[in-house]
Amino acid sequence: MSRYNQMKHTFTYTLRILLYLILIAPLLLFAAYAFSTRWFFPQPFPVEWTMGTFQRAINDSRTLSSMAQGVWIAFLVSILSLILALPTARVLGLRKFRGRQLAWLLLFLPTVIPPLAVGMGLNILFLRIGLAGTITGVVLAHIIPTLPYTIFTLSSAFARFDENYEYQALALGASPWQIFLKVTLRMMTPSLVVATLFAFLISWSQYLLTLLIGGGQVITLPILLFSAASGGNPSIIAMLSLLFVAPPVMVIAFTARSLNQHGNEIREQY
């Protein structure tokens, strides 16, 4: 029996290693291309290693500013989605009321209407009201795909939320603001973190909406990567890919556990 257990243990262990290998295989592939040059068919491994691409990417103000811009946009998007989602999610998670289903449907719509149509439709409107090509315009557009997921994540957390804690705090003389900060927010922290991170990631990796609303003036990493990837220099493509996946990889690594609860909800936007 113990022998069987040991075998089983070894098997699970091997499986785990294998899965983690698959996880890092793309990273290894990118690293091999990013830090080599003149690596042509049929050499099975890079022959000429170089830091040149990395240095060029770091010294290229484009790369850095696109990353900074992407982070800034994603930050604004996640904060805004959170602010918009909190009251909505609370009501949807805790209350039963007439038209609740309708509200769900309306908030669910953005996940159905393709970003292509949204971006193309908003293009002229934003041009006319001066939002095209601005960070504000891009942030607004990004909220469309992030909001439903923030709401879904938070509302399922509110569904498990016990309001009695708030009443107890109220009975003990806490002000509404104190209750919100010290009780509600604190109890919701894990879900809030997950919701924020994924709003951040959805915005960070958004290509079409940024392209259509940013009109070449708001440049984020996906825009650079896409234009490099359509046939370009493999080293640069791989370097940009590495920079592009760095935040998601870190987020996934840190939130691995809570992902098992929420991961599936956001997957489709990716």
Partner 1 sequence: MKRFVFLLVVLTMLLAACAPSVAISQSAATNPPVTADAPTVAGELDLNNWDSVLAAAKGQTVNWYIWGGSDSINAFVDNFYGVALRERYGITLNRVPLADTADAVNQVLSEKQAGKEIGAVDLIWINGENFFTLKQADMLYKDWAQQLPNSQYVNWENPAINLDFGNPVENMESPWSSAQFQFIYDSARTNANELPRSYAELKDWACAHPGRFTYIAPGPGGFLGTRFAKGALYEVGGGAEQWLNFDQALWDQWSPELWKYFNELEPCLWRNGETYPKDESELVNLFANNEVDFSMTNDITGAGRWIADGRMPKTARAFVFEKYMIGDFNYVSIPLNAPNKAAALVLANLLLEPEFQAAQILPENGFGLGYAIDVDRVTDKTAQTALQNAAAKLGDSATPASDLANSLVGDSAAEYPNLLEQGWQENVLQK
Partner 2 sequence: MRGHPLFSPWLSLAPALTIVMVLLGASLLYAVAESMDFISVIGQDEISLNAYRETLNLNSEFWISLGFSLWISIASTFISSALALLLAVWLSERHGDADTLALNWNLAFPHLVWSVALLLFLSQSGLLARWAVALGLISTPADFPILVRDRFGIGIILSYISKEIPFLTLTILAVLRSQSIGYDVVAENLGAGRWQRLRYVTIPQVMPALLAGALLVFGFIFSSYEVPALLGVGYPRALPVLALRFFLDPDLRARSEGMVISLVITLIVSVVAVLSLKIEERE
Site residues (CB under 8 A) for partner 1?
37-38, 40-42, 48, 50, 52, 56, 60-62, 101-102, 105-106, 109, 123-125, 127-130, 133, 215-217, 219, 224, 226-228, 230-236
Q: Which is nearer to partner 2, 69 or 234 (CB)?
A: 234
- Which of partner 1, partner 2, none does 37 bind, CB closer than 5 to 8 A by kind? partner 1
- Which of partner 2, partner 1, none does 264 bind, CB closer than 5 to 8 A by kind? partner 2
Smallest distance from partner 2 to CB 181, Å? 16
Residue 202 is encoded by which pair of tokens? 């959805």
Smallest distance from partner 2 to CB 103, Å? 5
Q: Which is nearer to partner 2, 64 or 256 (CB)?
A: 256
* Cα separation, 252 vs 247, whole angstroms: 9
Q: Which is nearer to partner 1, 108 or 167 (CB)?
A: 108
Q: What is the DSSP letter of 40?
A: -
* Cα separation, 209 vs 122, whole angstroms: 9
* Cα separation, 104 vs 20, whole angstroms: 37
- Which of partner 2, partner 1, none does 88 bind, CB closer than 5 to 8 A by kind? partner 2
Residue linked to tokens 């003990």 = 172
- Which of partner 1, partner 2, none does 216 bind, CB closer than 5 to 8 A by kind? partner 1
Smallest distance from partner 1 to CB 124, Å? 7
Q: Which is nearer to partner 1, 202 or 224 (CB)?
A: 224
Backbone angles phi, psi at 49, to 5 degrees: -85, 150
Q: What is the DSSP letter of 113?
A: S
Given a contact cutoff of 8 angstroms between Cβ atoms, the answer to whether 74 and 220 are in contact is: no
Collapsing DSSP to helix, strand or coil, 30 comes out as helix
- Which of partner 2, partner 1, none does 215 bind, CB closer than 5 to 8 A by kind? partner 1
Smallest distance from partner 1 to CB 228, Å? 8
Q: Which is nearer to partner 1, 19 or 129 (CB)?
A: 129
- Which of partner 1, partner 2, none does 227 bind, CB closer than 5 to 8 A by kind? partner 1
Q: Where are the alpha helices (DSSP H) in the chain?
A: 2-34, 52-59, 61-94, 100-112, 115-128, 135-159, 164-171, 176-178, 186-204, 208-214, 221-229, 234-254, 256-267
Given a contact cutoff of 8 angstroms between Cβ atoms, the answer to whether 85 and 150 are in contact is: yes
Smallest distance from partner 2 to CB 44, Å? 4
Q: Which is nearer to partner 1, 33 or 198 (CB)?
A: 33
What residues contact residue 152 under an 8 Å CB cut-off, 6+ apart?
265
